Chain A
Amino acid sequence: MSEEGKNLSRRDFLKTTGIATGTLVGGGIIGGLIGYNTNKKSKPSKNANNTTGHDEHTGVPARMFFMSQTDFQVLSNATERIFPKDNLGAGAIDLGVPYFIDRQLAGNYGSNSKEYMQGPFAEGAPTQGYQSRLTRAEIFTQGVMALENESKKRFKKGFSDITEKQMDEILTAFQKDEVKMSGTTSGFFFALLRSATLNGAYADPMYGGNRNMEGWKMKGFPGHQMAYIGEIEKDEFKKYEPKSL
């Protein structure tokens, strides 16, 4: 199928499900659309290197790592609490952070392929760093389920159905290492989740997060600029329209 054909069918799909016209849908599909800006008119772009790195006209991004919709929603909501939408601008979900993390977990990051993973494994002191036998992919899978279980235990509801305050309570308990995990600690999982969220908010958009460079715009980071040699001696603060690779 041609690229153009793919795009059309994808958009047709959106239309028929009602998303394109803003109709509320429930169930499985909504999680798949988390972060996808449905209000924005998607214009097909012929330029493969579009400036956002996010291929908007292909519609809903696909997941490469998380199978369960519930898990992906838990991940999404947790990242949003770490980097929430506020009057400064987009939060993790609108920035595409959950999809960024999903892709990272499906690749080298998730499989720790450039890291020493040979045994024997021992707990070690905090000064000795990461000593788990688990890969990041395994830790995320377990961690996201642990968030869900902890929510059910504390509030009799799934993580995605509790209030923001309750989500923060659970995330804080993870951060403080108060929740039991196997082969790793909840504190370590939280630290990974936090760093992955910031990575997704601010990495070049070609990785699937930092949509439309909104993360950079909020922060005032100009992205990929060839040179500042003409500006660096000037006293005034300089604002740039950011550029991605």
Chain B
Amino acid sequence: MVKTLPKVDVVTVGVGWSGGIIAAECAKAGLKVVGLERGQKRGTSDYQQIHDEYRYAIRYDLMQDLSRETITFRNNRKMKALPMRQLGSFLLGEGLGGSGTHWNGQTFRFLPYDFQIKTMTEKKYGKNKLGAEYLIQDWGLTYEELEPYFDTFEKTTGISGDGKNKHGGKRSNPYPTPAMKTTPLLKKFEKASGKLGYSPYMMPSANLSEPYKNPDGEQINACQYCGFCERFGCEYGAKTSPEITVVPTATKTGNFEPRFHANVVEVVKKGNKVSGVKYLDTISGEEFIQPADVVVLTSYVMNNAKLLMVSNIGEMYDPTTGKGTLGRNYCYQILPGASGFFDEQYNTFMGAGALGMCFDDLNGDNFDHSDLKFIHGANVALTQTGTRPIGTNPILPDTPTWGAEFKKQSIENYTRSLGVGGQGASIPHKENYLSLDNVYKDSYGVPLLQMTYNFTDQDRALHKHISKKCGDILKEMGAKTVVVNSEIDQYNIVPYQSTHNTGGTVMSLTPEEGVVNNYLQHWDADNLFVVGAGNFSNNSGYNPTGTVGALAYRCAEGIIKYSKKGGSLV
């Protein structure tokens, strides 16, 4: 028996960064918001024993329970898709704050180039730079249009930065707080990369350099550089997270109710509108319909796409015909890099998730690609995020992976090895997409999302080019041995790579090109909004959260407008 609850103005599916931002903005504007969160309530007081590498970084205690739900994966259409039975390549979040709880806090704005990638690439290199199988398109919104929303997100989160990136888009304001500390390791990278002609700057950080009160009155504390950020929550309330900012902001209006253990299984569509969502209370087993004037999908890339698919909203992408938009442009991230082995010991165990020095000379179209077989590039960085002993066992190539020699090298190199790496842009390809699996189901009986993904020639060329440059920097830094990452071949879902999955529900200027318009409003249902990294039609050479935050503020503005006037916002 499904129970229908009283109608609310806005319901969000998930309460992480995007759900929290939508909730805060809409609740401040007087709308009644319910946030349905499948995980549990959590906050700073729950993170007082967080310095536990095994529990959180190895056993993934803050991450999604895959026994309930996962995805299936194959490299190409000829393979049979099989379930991702364990977490590996990327770490899906769960619970209040979502991935915003266990992120590192590296907070960039995508480049102006990203938003107009098709126009700018064709203008400079002609129409045939990449083959027709690469589905690059403009986003339907320029950097300049999105700038005010980037600014708002940075103010909410108090981002620490030096503003010295000469390749970044124009900023209306400086970063709210000064950059983090320039440690000896960061200085070493700064000197070497500067000598090689690059323009290093301090990585913009959501681990704050000083205490900060945001415009909503929320307090964020100063980072203590304890070295436990990524995969952990912050025991100091110094890594900006939804739990310490937008969630309390929404809550104190009296207009927001977060509801936990509420797993949404369907968006209810009626004609060209949606009427609410159906969810399951995973504790009691009861089913509910939560009617709402506006439904906002604010879960991760995977579930935003899946919910649209299982609810039959929009046209599924078909890689054979190229028709349909839902599931298209799934992108990931390419990780070029190199390791350097040094004689001296460094305090590598100290750090913070977004403590780093980086440059954009090899990102976007900031360098000439005329003679290269790829477009875009990577932000290249040395980060000092805090190395931990289970996860960090650096050995030279051809060393056995166990036994006496392994033990000796992995211990000796633990504080004597440094990495320089890039976050390589990922360009959409017609064979990389999301769909629904027709065999495997989640524990609620709903089909699993299916991912078809492999590295492309573009990825391989980008990876090789930038890995070599990373190696050159380590040589300049004085490494006695430099090991450049070996070339990539097939994408493998087992080793951890990056939780920067994007696409599948892309934004676009026309309904033919995407799932949502540039207010993240669904092209086929005016009162349905879908927001997150799924809206990116390509992934950039940066961490996605800064751009997700900006889009969420843009979306919130759209919802408030819609609640007054109705209809399509474009």
Contacts and interface: CB of A to CB of B under 8 A. Distances in A.
Nearest to A191: B401
A82 B492 CA distance: 26
Interface in A195-239: 197-199, 201-204, 207, 215-216, 218-229, 231-235, 237-238
Contact of B82 (A108, A122, A198): A122
A130 B350 contact: no
Interface residues of A, number: 59
Contact of B225 (A108, A113, A202, A232): A232
B444 interface: no
Interface in A120-135: 120, 122, 124-131
A229 B407 contact: no
A24 interface: no
A88 interface: yes
A231 B185 CA distance: 13
Interface stretch (B49-57, B128-136, B283-291, B359-367): B49-57
A115 interface: yes
Contact of A237 (B66, B70, B74, B346): B346
**Which of B58, B222, B389, B494 neighbours the largest number of chain A CB atoms within 10 Å of its CB?**
B389
B184 A227 contact: no
A138 interface: no
A221 B225 contact: no
* Interface size classification for chain B: 35 or more
A168 B225 CA distance: 41
A62 interface: no
Interface string B400-421: 0111100110010011000000
B54 A124 contact: no
Contact of B351 (A116, A125, A232, A237): A232
B492 A126 contact: yes
A63 to B, nearest CB: 20
A114 B55 CA distance: 13
Given A116-B70, A129-B88, A228-B226, A233 B184 contact: yes
A120 B347 CA distance: 48
A220 B411 CA distance: 8
A89 to B, nearest CB: 9
Interface string A57-88: 00000000000000000000000011110101
A237 B86 contact: no
Contacts of B223: 229
B119 interface: no
Nearest to B441: A118
A118 B226 CA distance: 39
Interface string B478-499: 0000000000001111100000
**Which of A81, A218, A223, A229 neighbours the largest number of chain B CB atoms within 10 Å of its CB?**
A229
Contacts of A118: 83, 440-441
Contacts, number: 165
A203 B390 contact: yes
Given A131-B82, A202-B53, A204-B52, A221 B388 contact: yes
A237 to B, nearest CB: 4
Contacts of B88: 129
B345 interface: yes
Nearest to B51: A224
Interface string B62-87: 00011101100111000110111110
A128 B70 CA distance: 13
A224 B228 CA distance: 10
B165 interface: no
Interface string B213-246: 0000000001111110000000000000000000
A81 B347 CA distance: 30
Contacts of B86: 112, 115-116, 129-130
Contact of B389 (A197, A215, A225, A235): A215
A238 B65 CA distance: 39
Contacts of B350: 228, 231-232, 238
Given A207-B54, A228-B227, A233-B184, A82 B84 contact: no
Contacts of B390: 198-199, 202-203
A192 to B, nearest CB: 11
Nearest to B453: A127
B461 to A, nearest CB: 20
B393 A225 contact: no
Given A204-B52, A220-B414, A220-B415, A227 B407 contact: no
A235 B181 CA distance: 13
29 contacts: A81-B403, A86-B408, A108-B59, A114-B65, A115-B85, A115-B86, A117-B85, A120-B439, A122-B82, A127-B490, A127-B491, A128-B84, A129-B84, A129-B492, A194-B401, A194-B402, A203-B58, A204-B53, A221-B349, A224-B51, A227-B226, A228-B224, A228-B225, A229-B181, A232-B181, A232-B350, A237-B347, A237-B415, A238-B347
Given A118-B441, A131-B82, A204-B52, 16 more contacts: A81-B403, A116-B84, A117-B67, A127-B492, A127-B494, A128-B82, A199-B390, A202-B54, A221-B389, A228-B224, A228-B350, A232-B351, A233-B181, A233-B183, A234-B347, A237-B347
Top 10 nearest A-B pairs by Cβ distance?
A227-B224, A203-B54, A228-B350, A202-B389, A224-B51, A237-B345, A127-B492, A116-B70, A221-B389, A82-B402
Interface of A: 81-84, 86, 88, 108-109, 112-118, 120, 122, 124-131, 168, 171, 175, 194, 197-199, 201-204, 207, 215-216, 218-229, 231-235, 237-238, 245
